Structure formats: C-alpha cells, structure tokens
Amino acid sequence: MFEQALSSDAVFTHVFGIRQPSPGSTSSINGSHLEPPLSYDSLAAQNTALKTRVSEMELINDLFRNRVSELETSEGNARATEQALRAELEATQLREQALKRRIEEIEEESPRHKKMKMSDLVDESRAGSPISSMVE
C-alpha cells in the first residue's frame, strides 16, 4: 500500500492525471516495449544520418550568421552615410541663411540700387498698342 504512494508513477498520476509509467521506470533502451532492440548497424546508420543532419544545420546556421553580419555592416554604412548627408544638409542650410542675410544687408546699404520698373525699360515715345500703330 505504501509502496504505491511512494513511487514516482503515483505522484505523476496524482498531479497530472495521467496514468502512464515514467519513461525510466520500465521502458527499454529504445523507448518501446513492442519493438526489439536495434542492431549495431542500424544504430550506426542512424548515428551517421544524425551527424549529417547536425552538419547541415551548422552550415545553415553559419550562412544565417554571415548574412546577419553582412546586413549589420550594411546598416552601419547606411547610418554613417545618412549622418554625413544630414550634416552636409545642415551646413548648406546655414550657408544659405548667411547668404540671404548678406543680400539683405547689401540691399539695405544701397537705397539707390532699387529694382527697375517696367516703365523704365520701355521707351514710351516708341511704345504703343498694336491697334494704335494700325490707325496711324
């Protein structure tokens, strides 16, 4: 009576509500009661197949690692280029503002340098409408 209460299977069944024995209590080496143990050759073949699969997964992992590294390097270069372009844009904007201020200063210093009017460009004695030239 107490032996059942102290066994790991009883605790497992009580806690989780499952009535299967624990894997280490009565199972065979390959985990099945119905199948006979595998031969050495079949175990060696499975071992070789698993080693091949591990090698394939390591290769894939290395490819992903290299690609991530390439993308990180590319991102770093893009960020550096963006930062340089932003600095250049800011410098250009500052230069533009300085030139605009300089133009305003020059315009304020010379009042005689005013904008020409359209009437200053046209000789009024020769000017006339196309209709007036036809009447004459």
pLDDT tens-place string over residues 64-106: 999 999 999 999 999 999 999 999 999 999 999 999 999 999 9
What b-and-e string marks burial along 28-51, b requiring 16 or more CB atoms within 10 Å of the CB? eeeeeeeeeeeeeeeeeeeeeeee
pLDDT value of residue 1: 41
- 31, 23 Cβ separation under 8 angstroms: yes
Cα gap 35→28, rounded to integer Å = 9
Residue 17 backbone dihedrals phi, psi, to 5 degrees: 75, 25
- Band (pLDDT 50/70/90 cuts) for residue 38 is confident
Whether 5 shows a pLDDT value over 50: the answer reads no
Phi-psi bin for 31: left (phi > 0), alpha (psi -120 to 50), beta? left
pLDDT value of residue 2: 44
Q: Closest Cα partner for 28 from 17, 20, 36?
A: 36
> Distance from CA of residue 54 to its chain's centroid?
29
- Band (pLDDT 50/70/90 cuts) for residue 114 is low
Report field, pTM of the whole predicted structure over 0.85: no
User: Of the given ranges (31-35, 53-57, 78-82, 86-90), which has the lowest mean pLDDT?
Assistant: 31-35
pLDDT value of residue 35: 76
Q: Closest Cα partner for 94 from 86, 104, 82?
A: 86
